[in-house]
Amino acid sequence: MATTQLTASSISGNGFASFEGLRSTCIVKAASFAPLKHNNSRSFSRLVVKAATTVAPKYTTLKPLGDRVLVKIKTAEEKTVGGILLPVTAQSKPNGGEVVAVGEGHSAGKIKVDISVKTGAQVIYSKYAGTEVEFDGSKHLILKEDDIVGILETDDVKDLQPLNDRVLIKVAEAEEKTAGGLLLTEAAKEKPSIGSIIAVGPGPLDEEGNRKPLSVSPGNTVLYSKYAGSEFKGADGSDYITLRVSDVMAVLS
């Protein structure tokens, strides 16, 4: 293993990118250095982008199988409530849509269980779930029923009806002051992982196809895992989060 000591503020070489702003001595250990491949256009290695699968127009029906659901993706808002056009970078990527087809369900033990959402339902789903497809001129998503967070028939997340073992929590407001009474800036406020349960799902299915009630109820103040769930902003400006009940660590009282 070779050891190279870098002390200059700018290092460049044939086949190497320039490194600017080294202010202190750094020790870099490497078995070998290989020149970066480049051409006159200074292009980098080919970046592979996963695109949606396009279904040819000759196919007019797409039927999900098993416990899968086909959702027509809701398009992103192009304007603010006041009518101001939003640039593409400011348009929030939607993670909701309308159920347009469902599979035949799945088995729980010896019991066949139907899909719990029906066609026409407006649903919210996990951010990175499913496979995107271009079908019938619109973007759709094929995903498992368990990736659907809940049913939302209004434009306000506080009305979300969680599915299966998920819960909807209204996040507690961040502390405005330190224990010593100092006011905190927005950047310094620690995001809380405490909130009040607004709604709960019907519970997971057991081996006999029966729902097992959740261990928490609406109105409970709970402590939950900090990096779990999907976050939303309510119409009232409050923060909400949906997560599985297994990510709720304790009930506070």
**pLDDT tens digit string along 103-157?**
999 887 778 888 989 999 999 998 888 999 998 889 999 999 999 999 999 989 9
Q: What is the DSSP string of 109-130?
A: TTEEE--SS-TT-EEEE-TT-S
Residue 108: Cβ-neighbour burial (10 angstroms; 0-12, 13-18, 19+):
middle
> In Å, what is the CA distance from 25 to each residue of 3, 10, 11, 20, 33?
13, 12, 13, 13, 19
- Other C-beta atoms within 10 Å of 7: how many? 9
Q: Is the confidence at residue 19, as pLDDT, over 90? A: no
Share of the chain above pLDDT 90, in %: 40
Task: Over range 178-201, report the average pLDDT.
Answer: 69
Q: What is the DSSP string of 137-158?
A: TEEEEEEEGGGEEEE--SS-GG
Q: What is the pLDDT of residue 180?
A: 60
Q: pLDDT higher for 144 or 35?
A: 144
**pLDDT tens digit string along 4-14?**
444 444 444 44
